[in-house]
Amino acid sequence: FLQMNANPGNVDWFDDEGWASIVEHWRIAARVAREGGMKGILFDPEPYNEPFRQFAWTSQEGYEQHDFLEYHAKARERGAQVMQAIADEYPEMTLFCYFMNSVNAMAAQRPDPVKALAGGGYDLFPGFIDGWLDVIPPTLTLVDGCESAYLYNSQMEYLAAYNRIKSDCQWLVSPENRAKYRAQVQVGFGMYLDPYINPPDNRYYVDPMGMERVERLGVNVRYALDVADEYVWVYGEKASWWPNSHPRAQQPWEEALPGITDQMRAAGDPIGFALRKLAEMGDAAENLLVNGSFSPDAAEGVDFQQADDWVAEGAPAGWSSWQHPDSTGTFAWDSQVGRTGPGAARMAGMTNGCFLQKAEVKPGERYVVVAWRKVEGSGDASIRVRWQDPDDKWYMPSLDVMIDAGGPDDDWSQLAGVVTVPDGAGYIVPLLSATGQRSSEDMLWYDDVMIFRVD
């Protein structure tokens, strides 16, 4: 992205000559972004120069000559001029803003949202955005980066913010632009790193909730990525990712917050991270599951808790089975088939069924899930990671995680993923699933299933 700032911010919205220059700057920026092969423009609306209120009606030179609604209409006109210049040069770009209407979300919830804007520090910004939407081509994407997410510390906060931006904040644009707003405005989130190294008495502090601070950062990054449409951006002032001359950011982030690199890699590429960790840990990886290798005697004497509709008969030692009432498949431990040696879990003729077991976990813990599967005939294989609360009841199906395999069906292919235990969960329940098998000749095997914790 090519960054642009809303500075110096000393041009009144009614200054035609000044705005002709601003529009040309936007045009040049869009051209540079396109010719430079960039995704688009990164726009920071925050004021860093006096009067520090570029989008504030009361700070404009003509404040006493024009009321708020007149300025709002003029801001919309300028927004349309800017967007037209952008679209002329780079109609497929992404215009990423550190924040858009999220900064005015409180006004969006009022009975008359536009009237409620007047007097705020960014009261003219929604009009400017409305102008963008007046002429935006359908190929261009806007991103509200939700800078206000800096201190979010729960999945619910991210979900609520997403709903506010996509739902409430549309009322800050004109009725004729709301469909375009819903279709072309993405939600992203800002991650501020300093609160994870600041002392508790600092206004920018995130409570680690009983975890290591770097682990809490990882949890929140994953929450943000799960909820965001596409982008999560990272900002910090007290350390740096590379050598630089800034007097306040001489320390590398890996020294300031050890483990941060792993947390970011795990969030951005969970499968790649899982496989790297498995290779690093080797035999030292402690399997949370009983008899993940499907050996004939590995689970003797294990007191495995069964649910009412789980069946141990026919399943490998330590495992249970379940299938839909309309499914008539069979479950078995296969002594003749295995990935590295004899012994695997087999399903045949299964319309919808699975092998499963449960293990105790704690909220915020992170686990790598790895397994191997082989398919013969029709049908599909996947692992569905589910959760139960401490009272053994199914917990929030919306937080289930699906893990699929890559590679050919007729040979052993690996399934891998990373899961984080959600708040309120007490057990992890992996479902080694089979669906769509049409006859007893259709078979599926699972082997070498592991769930191990990573820090």
Q: Which two tokens stand for residue 439?
A: 């006859």
Is-contact 323 350, C-beta < 8 A? Answer: yes
| 299 pLDDT higher than 60 | no
Q: How far, CA to CA in Å, does 295 sit from each of 254, 311, 347, 435?
A: 42, 19, 16, 24
- Give the mean pLDDT of the chain: 93
- Work out the number of other CB atoms within 10 angstroms of the CB of residue 313: 7
What average pLDDT does this structure show over 393-415?
88
Quick: pLDDT tens for 417-427.
888 898 899 99
The answer to whether residue 250 is domain-embedded is yes
pLDDT number for residue 420: 85
Is the Cα dihedral 207, 210, 214, 219 positive or negative? negative
In a domain, 277, yes or no: no
Task: For tokens 């109609």, name the residue.
Answer: 91
Q: How far apart are CA 307 and CA 358, in angstroms?
A: 10
- 154 falls in which pLDDT band (50, 70, 90)? very high
Q: Are residues 21 and 155 in the same domain?
A: yes
pLDDT(278) > 50: yes
CATH number assigned to the domain comprising residue 336: 2.60.120.260
Same domain assignment for residues 233 and 373: no
CA distance 263 to 232: 14
Residue 358 lies in a domain: yes
Give the separation between CA 9 and CA 51, rounded to whole angstroms: 8
Cis peptide before 51 (omega within 30 of 0): yes
Query: Could you tell me if residue 315 is inside a domain?
Result: no
pLDDT in tens, 88-111: 999 999 999 999 999 999 999 999
6 occurs within a structural domain: yes
Confidence class for position 29, pLDDT limits 50, 70, 90? very high
Higher-confidence residue of 440 and 271: namely 440
C-alpha angle 65/68/73, rounded to 5°? Answer: 100
| Contacts of residue 379, Cβ cutoff 8 Å, sequence gap at least 6 | 350, 434, 435, 436, 437, 438, 442, 444
CA trace torsion 52, 57, 62, 68 (10° rounding): 180
> Percentage of residues in the chain with pLDDT exceeding 90?
78
Are residues 409 and 343 located together in one domain of the fold?
yes
Tell me, yes or no, whether 258 and 329 share the same domain: no
Question: What is d(CA 246, CA 238) in angstroms, rounded to the nearest whole number?
Answer: 10
Range of lowest pLDDT (46-50, 134-138, 333-337, 351-355): 46-50
The pLDDT-based confidence of 409 (bands split at 50, 70, 90) is low
Whether residue 283 is contained in a domain is answered as: no
Query: Among 107, 190, 112, 97, which Cα is nearest to 144's?
Result: 97
Mean pLDDT of 318-325: 94
Provide the domain count of the chain.
Answer: 2
CA–CA dist 26, 34 (Å, integer):
12
The secondary structure of the chain, three-state, reads CEEEECCCCCCCCCCHHHHHHHHHHHHHHHHHHHHCCCCEEEEECCCCCCCCCCCCHHHCCCCCCCCHHHHHHHHHHHHHHHHHHHHHHCCCCEEEECCCHHHHHHHHCCCCHHHHHCCCCCCCHHHHHHHHHHHCCCCCEEEECCHHHHHCCCHHHHHHHHHHHHCHHHHHCCHHHHHHHHHHEEECEEEECHHHCCCCCCCCCCCCCCCCHHHHHHHHHHHHHHHCCCCEEEECCCCECCCCCCCCCCCEHHHHCCCHHHHHHHHHCHHHHHHHHHHHHHHHCCCCCCCCCCCCCCCCCCCCCCCCCCECCCCCCCCEEEECCCCCCEEEEECCCCCCCCCEEEEECCCEEEEECCEECCCCCEEEEEEEEEEECCCEEEEEEEEECCCCCECCHHHCEEECECCCCCCCEEEEEEEECCCCCCEEEEEEEEECCCCCCCEEEEEEEEEEEEC
- Mean pLDDT over residues 26-52, rounded? 94
Of the candidates 270, 285, 306, which is a domain's last residue?
Answer: 270
Residues 160 and 80 in one domain: yes
Tens digit of each residue's pLDDT (9 = 90 or more) over 329-367: 999 999 999 998 889 999 999 999 999 999 999 998 889
- pLDDT at residue 301, as a whole number: 44
Q: What percent of the chain has pLDDT over 70?
A: 96
Residues 248 and 394 grouped into a single domain: no
Residue 290 CB burial class (10 angstroms; 0-12, 13-18, ≥19): middle
Q: Mean pLDDT across the stretch 118-145?
A: 98
Question: Which is more confident, 207 or 306?
Answer: 207
**Are 128 and 24 members of one domain?**
yes
Higher pLDDT, residue 185 or 279 = 185
Residue 189 C-alpha from the chain's centroid? 9
CATH number at residue 229: 3.20.20
pLDDT in tens, 247-256: 888 899 999 9
The pLDDT value given to residue 161: 98
pTM score above 0.85:
no
Domain hosting 254: range is 2-270
Is 328 found in the same domain as 196? no
**Pair 266, 326 in one domain:** no
- pLDDT for the residue 298: 60
pLDDT band per the 50, 70, 90 thresholds, residue 415: very high
**Is residue 83 scored above 90 in pLDDT?**
yes
291 is a domain residue: no
Asked if 325 and 264 sit in the same domain, the reply is no
* Tokens describing residue 324: 């839909």
With cut-offs at 50, 70 and 90, classify the pLDDT of residue 212: very high
User: 307 falls in which pLDDT band (50, 70, 90)?
Assistant: low
- Return phi, psi of residue 367, to 5°: -130, 145
| 110, 236: one domain | yes
The pLDDT of residue 364 is 81
pLDDT tier at 305, thresholds 50, 70, 90 = low
Dihedral sign, Cα of residue 225, residue 231, residue 236, residue 241: positive
Residue 300 has pLDDT above 60, yes or no: no
191 or 301, which is more confident = 191
The C-alpha angle 66, 70, 76, rounded to 5 degrees, equals: 135
Same domain, 57 and 155: yes
pLDDT in tens, 283-293: 788 899 999 99
